[in-house]
Amino acid sequence: MTPQGMSVDAFNYLIAFTKGHEGYTPFLYNNWPIKNKKKDVTAGVGIAVSDREKAAADPIRTLFRMKGSGAVPSPEQMKKEFDRVNDLPRTPDNLFTDYGDKSPMEIPANIMLSSLLAKMNDCWNQRGVQFPDFAKIQAQAQVALLSFNYGMRLSNRLAMCDAVKAEDFLTASRTCVVTEWDPRKNAAHQRLFDNAGAIMMTSRDLNLLPPITAGFKPPPCPPLPFKLPPLFTLSLKP
């Protein structure tokens, strides 16, 4: 089920975009120290696991299945794996070896996707009410808003939200950066807002999206059938 006012194509792009930026890893892993100065255990598609008690409780525990048996891990098994991962420093090349291969459990693909869809909709149902005309927002700006809300609630960027409501996508692009996030994710959100602004200033095609490609760091410019105005030509990043 897509958020009200969002097309299936835009939602599918959002899911692919989120997988590309959050990572699609069916095990517990740590972003510390190469991506975060503090220990930062994460699972699935950007699901923060703040401590061993959270790892052992629902709904985190029930996402996982033990390798071989397919059983849901016990709270003690989840705590043990959290402790292992929490103390294991991340290096540029040990994500799928030290974390994935050595994990006694994993999240099945269908459960991970269902969890992502549910969380995306739940986050939006809580915060998206401030956009009563969401269906009239260009699709790339819709994707940027939901992606931002997945990582940090929209209430933390009221200036960005006000800019989107006013179709001032250049301001939205300037105010959407979160310094703690991966610079590539920030650049991708900015590109989406820049693209939306260029489209609304020219064709006003609400549904135009970039092609779905791997990586999304940042997404490519859409294949616009027109010449961009100089302002947005300068703001679009190569």
Average pLDDT, the chain: 86
**Could you report the per-residue pLDDT of 151-195, keeping only the tens digit for each?**
887 878 899 999 999 999 999 999 999 988 888 889 999 999 999
pTM for this predicted structure: 0.74
147 and 224 assigned to the same domain: yes
**Could you report the per-residue pLDDT of 89-145, keeping only the tens digit for each?**
999 999 999 999 999 999 998 998 888 888 777 766 765 567 888 899 999 999 999
CB 44 within 8 A of CB 142: no
CB 49 within 8 A of CB 94: no
136 and 85 assigned to the same domain: no
Nearest to 129 by CA among 145, 113, 108, 111: 145
Rounded to the nearest angstrom, the gap between the alpha carbon of residue 108 and the centroid of all alpha carbons in its chain is 19
More confident residue, 46 or 227: 46
- Among the residue ranges 66-80, 131-145, 177-191, 200-214, the one predicted with the least confidence is 200-214
Residue 233 pLDDT > 50, yes or no?
no
Domain that holds residue 162: 131-235
Q: What one-character DSSP code corresponds to residue 88?
A: S
According to the model, what pLDDT value does residue 155 have? Answer: 79
Percent of the chain predicted with pLDDT > 70: 88
CB 176 within 8 A of CB 145: no
According to the model, what pLDDT value does residue 126 have? Answer: 60
Looking at the domain assignment, is residue 152 inside a domain?
yes
According to the model, what pLDDT value does residue 151 have? Answer: 80
Of 84, 113, 142, the last residue of a domain is: 113
More confident residue, 74 or 220: 74
60 and 149 assigned to the same domain: no
According to the model, what pLDDT value does residue 97 have? Answer: 96
Burial of 5-15, coded b for 16+ CB within 10 Å and e otherwise, reads: ebeeebbebbb
> In the predicted model, what is the mean pLDDT of residues 206-211?
89
71 and 161 assigned to the same domain: no
Nearest to 191 by CA among 158, 143, 134: 143
144 and 211 assigned to the same domain: yes
pLDDT band at 70 (very low <50, low <70, confident <90, very high): very high
Of 85, 113, 141, the last residue of a domain is: 113
136 and 227 assigned to the same domain: yes
Looking at the domain assignment, is residue 216 inside a domain?
yes
d(CA 16, CA 19): 5
87 and 51 assigned to the same domain: yes
The count of domains in the chain is 2
71 and 142 assigned to the same domain: no
88 and 155 assigned to the same domain: no
159 and 90 assigned to the same domain: no
Looking at the domain assignment, is residue 52 inside a domain?
yes
pLDDT band at 3 (very low <50, low <70, confident <90, very high): confident
Looking at the domain assignment, is residue 190 inside a domain?
yes
